[in-house]
Structure 1
Amino acid sequence: MTTKGQKDNLFSLVKSLTKSEKRQFKLYVGRLGVNTDSKFLNLFNLLDKAKVYNEVAILKSGIVKKQQLANVKAHLYKQILISLKLNPSHQNVRSQIREQLDFASILYHKGLYKQSLKILDKAKELAIVNEEKNMAFEIVELEKIIESQYITRSISTRADELAIQARDLSAQNVIASKLSNLSLQLYSIILKTGYVKNEDEARQVTKYFNDRLPDIKGKRLGFREKLWYCKAHLWYYLLLQDFLNSYRYASKWVDLFYQYPKMINVNPVFFLKGNNYLLESIFFLRNKEKFVEKLEDFKTTVSHPKFIKDENVATLVFLYTNFHSINQHFIDGSFEEGLALIPKIEEELLDFEDRIDPHHKAIFYYKFASLEFGSGNNKACIKYLDKIISNKSLSMREDLLCFSRVLNLVAHYEAGLDYHLEALLRSTYKFLIKMNDLHEVQKEMIKFIRGLQDIYPHDLKNAFRELVERLKTYEDHPYERRSFLYLDIISWLESKIENKSVANIIRNKYLNRNKN
């Protein structure tokens, strides 16, 4: 049995190591005084050179017997993690506090109370300054245990001090916990059921939100509690598709990091995600000037030498920088200008091959396809859409799969590929009918697609006009307008009616909106 190409956890971990991490691993193994031809080190060298994980090849190499393989793999996995833990690049504030806490526990168990308390006091200060309040609470609890055994004259004031500290930290941890739970629950609603589709759903979400939002009046909130408060509100307003309030809370979220600049490197992922939602909200509001300003601020911060990037952070910087660099061209129809981004991003995508999931790759392909379509390059548009449509294992948001198919149909029609059209109409129609929770805009598109075959070419313009009139009623509808952000079908129809390019129509709309 060959397991060629199979995703193996150990293999993925070995392949994720940088040159310096591999060098450090070998030094670490050498320090252990382990025989250099030990099984786990030989297995490491073999996996390091291999292109894919292949168990048959490992067993053939004679490094390890079949019955030993699972144990040797588990041992190697653990040793790599220990080696990574010792690497300075993986030692953040949390690991420093955790290490101090471990040292203090060892000293306490050896009966060296004074030394233990000294270390705990420094660790607690570090935890509070860096908003690691769960750890701070853990430290205070250990301090209380030690103080109760290490009697000093200052015990009475010390006991009060620790009791007050424990109470305050506990209260703040409760608020942060309630807000983080609420954020997670709202995020899970978006993933499960998508954005609200009608007034009834909006009422249910609002009740759910208000019932679970903790009362923070008169409470002392630190950075962490304020951050979760912004997050919970952002998810709530995104669910309601209230983009103006989403923008307000995403702004507060990002501003919070600039008020506490040290927190950018302590919580880089939250900083990046805040910027992502801020740019997304401005995109929905169609304000190019503000969008470009905030995108530049973001790029400046993440390209600064003081901004620390591990693999995870570097991947998010790549995704968000490029998603939004493309999005700016959708706001005002400057598609041709955006085309220059495609080859650059495709090249960089190869470097992130193992770190970007198929869902995010598909979002890139959809954005590339939209840029090509807006520039009138229909065959190039079809090429990118095919990467999404032909990938049967792609589990991603239904709305994106739906619009990929509709845009594919429109691009075939535009490219004059009539011989494909009938089969495409049938498969697109079948796909859309199977979808859950269709929006009204999608239902109108299905009706139109179904009727396309019966329309004579000279009647097409009238059919386009009728569809535009029907769709226009949804353009400013609070729960339907989002559809047009994926595929500006109205502008395409208007371009057919007025014999102008899609880019021209979108550009004129943008200029008229900003003139007012």
Structure 2
Amino acid sequence: MPSKFSDTLFQLVHSLEKSEKRHFKLYIKRSSAKEELKIIQLFDVLDKLTEYDENLILKKMSGITKTQLANLKTHLYKQLLASLRLLKLADNIDLQLSEHLDEARILYNKGLKIQALRILERAKEMARANQKFNTLVQIISLEKKIETLHITRSTTDKTADLANEALEISSHIDRVTRLSNLALLLYRWYVLHGHSRNEEDEKEVNQFFKEYLPKDMNAVNGFYEKLYLYQSYCWYAFIRQDFLMYYRYSQKWIDLYDESPQMLAIETGHYIKGMHNLLNAHFDLRNFQKFEIALKKFEAFEKTEIAQAHDNFRTHTSIYINSAKLNQHLMRGTFKEGLVLIPEIEAKLNEYAVFVDRHRILVFRYKFASLYFGSGQYSRALDYLQEIINGSQDLRIDLQCYARLMHLMSHFELGNFELMESLTKSVYRYMSKMKNLTVVEEEIFRFLKVSFGLPRTALKTELEKLLQKIKHLEKNRHETRAFAYLDVISWIESKVQNKTMSEVIYEKYKKAKQRNY
């Protein structure tokens, strides 16, 4: 059976809301052509299917050959996009600007040059007001073409202004391009490698960052230039585990929307991603109160019309809020309460399967495993860890490594000592090969190698030694990766103090809250 979401048309049909389906039916029924009636039939068949199955479609649409089906699918896809374009036009600045450009080109081709210029002038005002400079380039390009080829009675001052305007926008777009490239490539580096593993990684990231920064940094201005600059600094800081810098630039990212509130409806996706990063920064710094304030703000935003206006916005707001809720339980130590959220989140991930990338699913599995590990349900933790280990090997080397380490520690907790010797060697070799061994991991492996079969009193002594060796590294930036992925310190303290890991972390959380009051 083919994958549920293997067909692009099937994906599109199943992404539609009721209002969008209703609009499509009304839009297409304006034509009574035989072919149009067939695509409605195809639409209805696809809408009722739970999985894409071409043989079943052919069976339900009797008299249609495989070749005809392919042609109908292409036609239906185009008509769906045309219907959606009409429906979404009033709510989307990009679509409105595109329509103005299309109208201006049509009028120009009809020889109505002055009318075309009037439409372009209105489009230019709209593009400037909404900082759509890429579209502005196209508008000015068409203006210049008309002014160059025809006598339009424009003043010489206007044509000079047009030339200067084109140069100014060209410089702006060059900076936006360089900064957006930098943000994108840094994010790609993180998705592939995770946090910097050593000084060699950090040197590589530093050099890369400096090379891509625009030379004319003093000229950086406007919403988009600042947005991509702050994003670049966010990823740069996050990769290097400079969580304070990460927090500062995440906050600057969100503050941009307070300075330009009209951009919230235009660049909603970037706002959602910014809130996700701000919450992650508070999580990494254990800013408990600020985390709670930001989460409430994000949950309030989720209920707004802007957040509900778009499939991507609804999906990613839901995903990031659920991720934040899991993080809240992880940093409070309320693991069992966090477990209650897992079935609902898994149901959401299945519902949003067509929209969710492999990287995001990988992160959720690791968080689920962490909650089960922290609550002492090690067998359930192993289920999720096994999915990571057997799954995407090309993403997040860091998660692959720490999933294996948590997998090893889960077997230790379960007393599966017959597996421990060979498993310890295997995980050590893997992490060494991936250059993911810091002093903390080395000490954990040393402890695990000597722990097999030790009596309880001797085991406690070894754990106390391990705690002394790594406790002072908790604030070391090059060693914090291990603590960010797996709270080893609290795990060891729970063993030494004869408490649950949940109790140890919750006590730290309460003390931190009291200090902040």
**Partner SS state of residue 277, structure 1:** helix
Distance in 2, Cα, partners of 1:309 & 1:429: 52
Q: Match for 1:439 among 413, 437, 440?
A: 437
Q: Which amino acid aligns with 1:243?
A: F
Corresponding residue number in structure 1 for 2:297? 297
User: Superposition pairs for residues 22-37 of structure 1, below 5 Å?
Assistant: 22-35=21-34
**8 Å contact 2:365–2:385 — kept in the other structure?**
yes
Distance in 1, Cα, partners of 2:217 & 2:387: 51
**8 Å contact 1:329–1:335 — kept in the other structure?**
yes
Q: Which amino acid aligns with 1:134?
A: N
**8 Å contact 1:494–1:505 — kept in the other structure?**
yes
Corresponding residue number in structure 2 for 1:449? 448
102 and 413 in structure 1: CA distance in 2 versus 1, 3 angstrom threshold: same
User: Superposition pairs for residues 424-435 of structure 1, below 5 Å?
Assistant: 426-427=422-423, 429-435=425-431
**8 Å contact 1:315–1:355 — kept in the other structure?**
yes
Q: What per-residue deviation string (whole Å, max 9, x for no partner) do you get for residues 440-499 of structure 1? A: 233433443344335344421122223223333532221221221221112111111111
User: Superposition pairs for residues 189-200 of structure 1, below 5 Å?
Assistant: 189-200=189-200
Q: Which amino acid aligns with 1:439?
A: L
Per the normalisation by structure 2, the TM-score is 0.90
Corresponding residue number in structure 1 for 2:419? 423
Quick one: higher RCO (CA 8 Å, sep 6+), 1 or 2? 2
Distance in 2, Cα, partners of 1:404 & 1:56: 41
Deviates more, 1:379-388 or 1:193-202: 379-388
Distance in 2, Cα, partners of 1:384 & 1:194: 19
**8 Å contact 1:358–1:394 — kept in the other structure?**
no
70 and 442 in structure 1: CA distance in 2 versus 1, 3 angstrom threshold: farther
Distance in 1, Cα, partners of 2:3 & 2:336: 42
**8 Å contact 1:84–1:90 — kept in the other structure?**
no
User: Superposition pairs for residues 78-477 of structure 1, below 5 Å?
Assistant: 78-88=78-88, 91-216=91-216, 218-219=218-219, 221-382=221-382, 384-385=384-385, 388=388, 392=391, 396-414=395-413, 417-418=414-415, 420-423=416-419, 426-427=422-423, 429-435=425-431, 436-440=434-438, 441-477=440-476
**8 Å contact 2:39–2:76 — kept in the other structure?**
yes
**8 Å contact 1:409–1:421 — kept in the other structure?**
no
Q: Which amino acid aligns with 2:503?
A: N
**Partner SS state of residue 477, structure 2:** coil
**8 Å contact 2:412–2:420 — kept in the other structure?**
no
**8 Å contact 1:42–1:63 — kept in the other structure?**
no
Distance in 2, Cα, partners of 1:125 & 1:165: 13
461 and 209 in structure 1: CA distance in 2 versus 1, 3 angstrom threshold: same
Distance in 1, Cα, partners of 2:392 & 2:332: 34
* Runs of 4+ with >6 A deviation: none
Distance in 1, Cα, partners of 2:175 & 2:392: 41
Per the normalisation by structure 1, the TM-score is 0.90
Distance in 2, Cα, partners of 1:485 & 1:217: 33
**Partner SS state of residue 29, structure 2:** helix
Say whether 1:505 aligns with 2:504: yes
Distance in 1, Cα, partners of 2:371 & 2:485: 12
Q: What per-residue deviation string (whole Å, max 9, x for no partner) do you get for residues 396-433 of structure 1? A: 4233233334334434544xx43x45236634642552
314 and 82 in structure 1: CA distance in 2 versus 1, 3 angstrom threshold: same
**8 Å contact 1:402–1:432 — kept in the other structure?**
no
Distance in 1, Cα, partners of 2:404 & 2:384: 12
How many residues of Structure 1 are paired with residues of Structure 2 in the alignment?
511
- How far 1:97 sits from its partner (Å)? 0.2
Q: Which amino acid aligns with 1:437?
A: K
Deviates more, 1:70-79 or 1:159-168: 70-79
**Partner SS state of residue 480, structure 2:** coil
**8 Å contact 1:230–1:253 — kept in the other structure?**
yes
160 and 254 in structure 1: CA distance in 2 versus 1, 3 angstrom threshold: same
Distance in 2, Cα, partners of 1:363 & 1:194: 11
- How far 1:50 sits from its partner (Å)? 1.8
**8 Å contact 2:191–2:395 — kept in the other structure?**
no
246 and 128 in structure 1: CA distance in 2 versus 1, 3 angstrom threshold: same
Q: Which amino acid aligns with 2:435?
A: D
Distance in 2, Cα, partners of 1:351 & 1:396: 23
Structure 1: unaligned runs, 5 residues or longer: none
Q: Which amino acid aligns with 1:204?
A: E
Q: What per-residue deviation string (whole Å, max 9, x for no partner) do you get for residues 164-190 of structure 1? A: 211211111111111112222222222
**8 Å contact 1:183–1:231 — kept in the other structure?**
yes
Root mean square deviation of aligned Cα: 2.7
- How far 1:246 sits from its partner (Å)? 1.0
**8 Å contact 1:359–1:394 — kept in the other structure?**
no
Distance in 2, Cα, partners of 1:438 & 1:512: 32
377 and 193 in structure 1: CA distance in 2 versus 1, 3 angstrom threshold: closer
**Partner SS state of residue 196, structure 1:** coil
Distance in 2, Cα, partners of 1:328 & 1:293: 12
**Partner SS state of residue 482, structure 1:** helix
Structure 2: unaligned runs, 5 residues or longer: none
- How far 1:210 sits from its partner (Å)? 1.9
**8 Å contact 2:190–2:239 — kept in the other structure?**
yes
**8 Å contact 1:381–1:411 — kept in the other structure?**
yes
Distance in 1, Cα, partners of 2:337 & 2:257: 32
Distance in 2, Cα, partners of 1:428 & 1:27: 64
- How far 1:379 sits from its partner (Å)? 4.9
- How far 1:341 sits from its partner (Å)? 3.3
Q: Which amino acid aligns with 1:467?
A: L
Deviates more, 1:33-42 or 1:318-327: 33-42
**Partner SS state of residue 475, structure 2:** coil
- How far 1:279 sits from its partner (Å)? 1.3
Distance in 2, Cα, partners of 1:132 & 1:4: 38
Q: Which amino acid aligns with 1:162?
A: L
Distance in 2, Cα, partners of 1:405 & 1:108: 64
Distance in 1, Cα, partners of 2:28 & 2:102: 23
Corresponding residue number in structure 1 for 2:20? 21
- Identity among equivalent positions (%) equals 39
111 and 187 in structure 1: CA distance in 2 versus 1, 3 angstrom threshold: same
**8 Å contact 2:279–2:324 — kept in the other structure?**
yes
Q: Which amino acid aligns with 2:361?
A: K
359 and 134 in structure 1: CA distance in 2 versus 1, 3 angstrom threshold: closer
178 and 384 in structure 1: CA distance in 2 versus 1, 3 angstrom threshold: closer
**8 Å contact 1:7–1:53 — kept in the other structure?**
yes
- How far 1:287 sits from its partner (Å)? 1.2
Q: Which amino acid aligns with 2:199?
A: E
5 and 134 in structure 1: CA distance in 2 versus 1, 3 angstrom threshold: closer
**8 Å contact 1:179–1:214 — kept in the other structure?**
yes
**8 Å contact 2:5–2:11 — kept in the other structure?**
no
